[in-house]
Amino acid sequence: MVQKSSYPVYENMQYRRCGKSGLKLPVLSLGLWHNFGRDDDYAKSRKIILKAFDLGITHFDLANNYGPPPGEAEITFGKILRKDLAGFRDELVISTKAGYYMWPGPYGEWGSRKYLIASLDQSLKRLGIDYVDIFYHHRPDPDTPLEETMTALDFAVRQGKALYAGISNYNADQTRLAAKILRELGTPCLIHQPRYNIFDRWIEERLLGALKDEGIGCIAFSPLAQGILTDRYLHGVPRDSRAARDFSFLKPRDITEEKLAQVRQLNNIAQRRGQKLAQMGIAWILRHENMTSVVLGASQVSQLEENVDTLKNMAFSHEELAEIEAILAG
């Protein structure tokens, strides 16, 4: 349960500065994409969130469409915030996003000023707070001028409804242009949230360099490749796994024999390191000095505790990194 007096939570967590800003984030953040919706066990969701804070995880990452159904994760977190964490608001970093479909009609998704400001107002009502710490544009809009989208983020900050602006799923060129626009508006881009893990390394080619040049922090989502980088899939697809659910982005067809063979080899390295495969996968992402944080998902308190134990072994030898590269190269 949350401890107020002695603050042992901070001693057991590592914090990194977000780009060139004054904000530090825990290297492990809690994402509420799944497991915090209307049909999920509220008591379990509450335990996970409170345990996360007890472990020093001060950053909670949401979006308008998180649930399921969309909006419910914000409602769940808002209830827990009011009941258990109201006195800790200044010790929390709460983020939300807008960009994906939320309501019918021409103003319910993408990147128009109309949609972004309306969505943020709705998110604040669901959360029951006056401001979020970070407001992201969730994905690039191919039709709306980027100037309009970035001006909307700047407007949200100037209104006091967000402290910082961020972007997600932007490529390197889009990121540089967005950063330039925001900088000229006087609201620097704080952070970028891309998908990144051992099997999905697209950000290494150009995006990481762009973020370093622009002084933007990086927080990776899907660090365990939707669960593939855990010991759950070492022997195939369990019936109760995410890959077995129709609504999941991860499908059984994504888990090929070739990939499973790589997972088993990676697991061998993790065992030699005295780690679970998931722990090694998280540490592998955080080996980048410019990686601010990793967004973790959790369906059990024990899962969260296990992932936080990653901090006990974050270093890689040159031999280990070379062996991982060899496995990925086939």
Which residues of the chain fall below pLDDT 70? Answer: 1-8, 238-250, 252-253
| Helix, strand and coil in the chain, % to nearest 5 | 45, 15, 40
CA angle 293/295/300 to nearest 5° reads 130
What is the value of pTM for the model shown? 0.94
Which class for 200: exposed (0-12), middle (13-18), buried (19 or more C-beta within 10 A)?
Answer: middle
* Residue ranges covered by each domain of the chain: 16-231+281-316
pLDDT at position 256 is: 87
CA angle 106/109/111 to nearest 5° reads 100
Secondary element (H or E) of residue 162 = strand 162-168
Instruction: Report the candidate in 28, 93, 101, 43 with the shortest Cα–Cα distance to residue 68.
Output: 101
CATH T-level topology, domain 16-231+281-316: TIM Barrel (3.20.20)
Return the axis-axis angle of helices 42-54 and 72-80, rounded to nearest 10°.
60
195 three-class SS: strand
pLDDT in tens, 238-286: 666 555 555 456 676 678 899 999 999 999 999 999 999 999 999 999 9
pLDDT in tens, 179-190: 999 999 999 999
